[in-house]
Amino acid sequence: MKWFKVFESKESALNTIPDKGVKLLLLGQRRIALARFDDKIFATADACPHNGESLSKGSINYLGEIICPWHNYRFNIKSGTECQNRTQDLQTFPIECRADGLFIGIPE
Binding site for ligand FES (CB under 6 A): 48, 50-51, 53, 68, 70-71, 73
| Distance between CA atoms of residues 56 and 64, nearest Å | 14
According to DSSP, the β-strands at 92-93 and 74-76 are unpaired
Closer to ligand FES by Cβ: residue 16 or 87: 87
Closer to ligand FES by Cβ: residue 69 or 101: 69
Could you tell me the smallest distance in angstroms from the CB atom of residue 48 to ligand FES? 3
| Distance between CA atoms of residues 76 and 29, nearest Å | 24
| Distance between CA atoms of residues 43 and 77, nearest Å | 8
Closer to ligand FES by Cβ: residue 9 or 81: 81
